[in-house]
Structure 1
Amino acid sequence: MYLTKEAKEKLFKKHGKDAKDTGSSEGQIALFTERINHLTEHLKQNRKDYNTERSLVKLVGKRRSLLDYLMKSDILRYRAIVKELGLRK
């Protein structure tokens, strides 16, 4: 896989409470963003890979759902993660 266990732990440590906090919304959004960026680069080279394109669209939808949940529950955490990851609506 493109993301090693150590890289995931570092990602969750940076965006979650600690390296083992894989369930936090911020950690999941950061992981989805990393996967989306990876798939986007793959699709730039393999433009006819429709299965990957479908997976990318599903991931974007999951991330959007998590961002909507975070916006409804805690607007400050939402603004922080959007600013930190460089996302925009």
Structure 2
Amino acid sequence: MYLTKEVKEEIFEKHGKSKTDSGTAEGQIALFTYRITHLTEHLKKNRKDFNTERSLVKLVGKRRDLLDYLIKKDIMRYRAIVKELGLRK
């Protein structure tokens, strides 16, 4: 599987408060971004995989909701995570 326990811990350690802290919005956004990039690469090879396409759209929506939450809650945290992950130009 592409998303092992070690990969998750690395993502949460880099973007969250600690490697076991999966509850922060930044950690969840980083995890969703990792999964979105993986699914995007999969869909480039398998154009007719509509179940994966649906999953990708749902993940993008979840990430968007978390980003909207961060904008309302703390704009500086939002700007930091967007810059760190390179989500905007």
TM-score after normalising by structure 2: 0.98
Deviations 1:26-58 (A, max 9, x none): 000000000000000000000000000000000
Superposition CA RMSD, Å: 1.0
Give the letter aligned to residue 75 of structure 1.
I
Gaps of 5+ in 1: none
- In 1, Cα distance between the equivalents of 2:53 and 2:88? 21
| Gap regions ≥5 residues in structure 2 | none
One-letter identity of the residue aligned with 1:59: L
Query: Aligned pair 1:33/2:33, yes or no?
Result: yes
Aligned mates of 2:34, 2:26 — CA distance in 1: 12
CA distances 1:43-88 after superposition (whole Å, capped 9, x unpaired): 0000000000000000000000000000100000000000000002
Total equivalences in the alignment: 89
Structure 2 distance, partners of 1:71, 1:88, is: 14
Name the structure 1 match of 2:46. Answer: 46
Alignment of 1:55-70 (within 5 A): 55-70=55-70
TM-score (norm 1): 0.98
Secondary structure of the residue aligned to 1:62 is helix
Query: What is the deviation of 1:15?
Result: 0.1
Q: 4+ runs of 1 displaced by more than 2 Å? A: none
CA distance in 1, matches of 2:3, 2:58: 19
- Over the matched positions of the two proteins, sequence identity in percent amounts to 80
